[in-house]
Structure 1
C-alpha cells in the first residue's frame, strides 16, 4: 500500500527504528528521535544497494518518488545509482572550482600584485557587483560571447556605459587567463568588441575650470569656511597637482623637509613607481599649518571618524561643490589645469609628464626614473607656486618658458 502524507505525518517514533514502504524500492525510515529519512533500495549486478534521498518533510513524497523513478531508470540503463551519484558530486565540485567566479578570483589574485590597492579593490568590487551575479556560477568552459554581452548590457542599461566597457575588458582578461592555464580552450571575448553591442559614448575628461577661472577658485579655497584641514588639503593639491588618492593618503614619514622633497612610495602610486614631489616655500608653509592641526598622527589628513583612516575623496569634492563648482571642477582637475598652463608656457613635455607621474608614452619617458630631471622639475614647481600666488592677487608674474 502506497504512502500518503497523512500516513507519514501520523507515523510516531518508536523505541527502535522502523520502515514504511511506498513500493518499487522507496521506503521511509522512522528513527527513534522522530526524524524520517527516505531511502531507495535497489539491486545492481546481483548486489543490494541503498541510497539516501533526504529527510521528510524537506523532501516531500512527490519529490522522493520522482527521484526514485530517476534512479530506477539508471539501473535499467546498466548504471549503478551509487556510482552515478559520486560522479555527479565530482562534476559539481569541478564545476564549482572552474566556475567563472572561481577562475576570476584566481586571475585577480595574480593580477593585483602589479596594481595599487585601491585600483585592485575597485576591480574586484565591480566584478562582485555586476558580473558574478550574472555569470559567476557558470563553468568557465560554458561562457560564450552572447553571455558576456548580455552581462555588460545589463550594466549599460542603468547608464553606466564606461563601467560596462571596462567590465567587458576585464572579462576578456579573465578568459585569456583561463586559456593560458588550460581551464578553457578559447576566449569568447575575442570574437566581439564592446562597440559591437554597446552604445558609443563621448569621451569625457575630469571636469576642470579654464585657466582664466583659476584665480577665483584659489581665492575661494583660501576663504573656505569649512574644516581647516580640508582647506589646506585643497591648497596643497593646487600647488603639487598630485592625484587625490596620493594626497589624502599622505603620511609624515614620506616628507623630507631638509631635502624639500615629498617621496610618495611606489605602493601608493598608480604606476607603481616612487614619485618625488619637490617642495616649494609655499608648500612648506602649508605643511607647517597642517602639522599644527593634525599633530603627531601619522596621516596628514586623518578622517574625522578616526580609526586610523584618511580623509575621503568626497570630502574634497564636496568642498569644491560648496564653493559653487559642482560639475565644473574636481580634485583631479588641478592636474589638467597645471598640465595645460605649463605646456602653454613652454616647459618641456617630459618634465611635466614626469611630475604628473603619467605612464610612459614615448621613447623619452620610457626611460622613466623617479629622480629624472629632478633639478629642472624643482625649478618648474617653484615657478608654479609663485604663479599661483601671483594670480590670486592679480600681480601675475608670467611663468618663465624653459626649453
Structure 2
C-alpha cells in the first residue's frame, strides 16, 4: 500500500509510470509531474479504467474510499463508469428541473385550465416573490425543513394567512412535480399543523333587519353618481360578489328567462352561473340600459364607459352614506342575505347556498344542485327582493 511519503517522493520520468496501492487502485505519474488516481477493474470480461481525481486534491484515504465505492457498485453487477455517467445525467436533469422551472410550468397550466388573471397573479406573487429562495433549488432536493423556515419567517412577520396560503400553493407545485416524475414526494405534507392557526376576520355586514332596512333607504336616497347607487342596489338584490356586478355586461342578460348568466371566467368556482332576476333587479337593469352604449358594461366607471367600476367605488359610496368599514362592506350584502334568509327559513339551506354560488365539494351534488334548484332560486330571489322592499319601507316609516 502506498504511503504519503512515497507519493510525495514520486518524481516524473521519461515515460508515465504507476504506483500500485492494491485492489485495482494505482497512482499514475505523468511526464508533466501530474499524479492521477486510477481504478482498474474488469466488467463483462473487459478491462476498464475509472478516473478518481488527481493528487493532492484527492488524498490517499479519499482515493481508497472512491475505489471501495466503485468495487461495491461492481459487486452489484453494475459498471461503475456507466453509473457515473448516469449520475451525471441525473444531476443535469435535476439542475434543469429547479423549483422555479416547475413553478413556472404550474402557473402556465393554471392559465391553460382557465384560471382568472387575479388567480394567476396571486400564484406568481406567492411562488416567484415569496418563495424566491427556492427558485434555483432542484425541486427533488427541496426539504420540509427549508420550506418550514421560509413559512415561519412569513408567519413571524404577522402574515399567518399568507403563510398558510403559500404552504398550500407550494404543495400544489410539488404534487405537480410528483405527477410529472420530477420529485419523489411533496415535502409540504409533513408540515400539516406546523403553522399557527389563522385568525379569521369576517367581512363586516349588517344582519339586523331594521338596520338593513335603514341601509337600503340610504342607498335609495344616495345623491352621488346614479350608476353607483344602481350598482349597490343590484348587488343587494342579487347576492353575488361585488366583482361580478362591477364587470357585468348587458350581453349577459337573458330577458325572456329573466336570467343573468355570469361567464365562467368571472366566477370563483370557474363555472358559468345563472342568477334569476327578481322584478326589482330587472327594473334596475332597465333603468341603466340606455345609459351605456351597445352590449358593454351595465355599471361602467364614471371616467370611461369601457372600464368597470373600481374595486373601492362601492365601499367609498357606503362611507359617504355614513357607514364605516367596521360596519359594512360591499361584500357584506351576501352575509346579510345568508343570515336573514336562513334565520327566517325562507328556503332550504342548500338552495340558499347555491343562490350564493358557494361551491359544493361533491362534483355530482354540485351539478345536481345547479340543475335542480333554478326554480327554487327564482322564487327565493323574488322573496329576498320583496323582503328588502319591506325592510326599506319600514325604515322610511320610522324616519317619517
Of the three residues 203, 206, 210, the one matched with 1:206 is 203
Q: What SS is found at the alignment partner of 1:262? A: strand
TM-score by length of 1: 0.70
The aligned counterpart of 1:35 is none
The aligned counterpart of 2:126 is 126
Classify 1:255/1:356 alpha carbon distance in 2 versus 1 (closer, same or farther; 3 Å): same
The aligned counterpart of 1:150 is 149
Q: Work out whether residues 252 and 298 of structure 1, in 8 Å CA contact, stay in contact via their aligned partners in 2.
A: yes
Q: Work out whether residues 206 and 332 of structure 2, in 8 Å CA contact, stay in contact via their aligned partners in 1.
A: yes
The aligned counterpart of 1:265 is 263
Of the three residues 288, 291, 295, the one matched with 2:289 is 291
Mapped to 2, the partners of 1:383 and 1:365 lie a distance apart of: 25
Aligned positions of 1:63-78 closer than 5 A: none
State which structure, 1 or 2, has the greater radius of gyration over its C-alpha atoms. Answer: 2
Classify 1:142/1:215 alpha carbon distance in 2 versus 1 (closer, same or farther; 3 Å): same
Q: What SS is found at the alignment partner of 2:184? A: coil
Task: Give me the CA root mean square deviation.
Answer: 3.4
Deviates more, 1:319-328 or 1:137-146: 319-328
Mapped to 2, the partners of 1:263 and 1:344 lie a distance apart of: 28
Aligned positions of 1:351-390 closer than 5 A: 351-361=351-361, 365-368=365-368, 370-390=370-390
Q: Work out whether residues 207 and 340 of structure 2, in 8 Å CA contact, stay in contact via their aligned partners in 1.
A: no
Mapped to 1, the partners of 2:199 and 2:108 lie a distance apart of: 33
TM-superposed CA distance for 1:142, in Å, is: 2.6
The aligned counterpart of 2:219 is 221
Mapped to 1, the partners of 2:188 and 2:356 lie a distance apart of: 34
The aligned counterpart of 1:141 is 140
TM-superposed CA distance for 1:138, in Å, is: 1.8
Mapped to 1, the partners of 2:310 and 2:255 lie a distance apart of: 25
Structure 1 stretches of 5 or more lacking a match?
Answer: 1-44, 48-70, 79-88, 397-403
TM-superposed CA distance for 1:219, in Å, is: 1.7
TM-superposed CA distance for 1:92, in Å, is: 9.6
TM-superposed CA distance for 1:255, in Å, is: 0.1
Verify: 1:274 aligned to 2:272, yes or no.
yes
Q: Relative contact order (C-alpha < 8 Å, sep 6+): which is higher? A: 2
TM-superposed CA distance for 1:222, in Å, is: 2.1
Q: What SS is found at the alignment partner of 2:312? A: helix
Q: Work out whether residues 274 and 370 of structure 1, in 8 Å CA contact, stay in contact via their aligned partners in 2.
A: no
Classify 1:280/1:348 alpha carbon distance in 2 versus 1 (closer, same or farther; 3 Å): same
Q: Work out whether residues 99 and 136 of structure 2, in 8 Å CA contact, stay in contact via their aligned partners in 1.
A: yes
Mapped to 1, the partners of 2:318 and 2:243 lie a distance apart of: 16
Mapped to 1, the partners of 2:230 and 2:142 lie a distance apart of: 50
Mapped to 1, the partners of 2:242 and 2:95 lie a distance apart of: 40
Mapped to 2, the partners of 1:214 and 1:338 lie a distance apart of: 10
Verify: 1:254 aligned to 2:277, yes or no.
no
The aligned counterpart of 2:159 is 160
Classify 1:395/1:321 alpha carbon distance in 2 versus 1 (closer, same or farther; 3 Å): closer
Mapped to 2, the partners of 1:232 and 1:179 lie a distance apart of: 50
Classify 1:115/1:295 alpha carbon distance in 2 versus 1 (closer, same or farther; 3 Å): same
TM-superposed CA distance for 1:306, in Å, is: 3.8
TM-score by length of 2: 0.70
Mapped to 2, the partners of 1:321 and 1:134 lie a distance apart of: 42
Q: Work out whether residues 207 and 335 of structure 2, in 8 Å CA contact, stay in contact via their aligned partners in 1.
A: no
* Matched positions, count: 319
Structure 2 stretches of 5 or more lacking a match?
Answer: 1-29, 33-53, 64-87
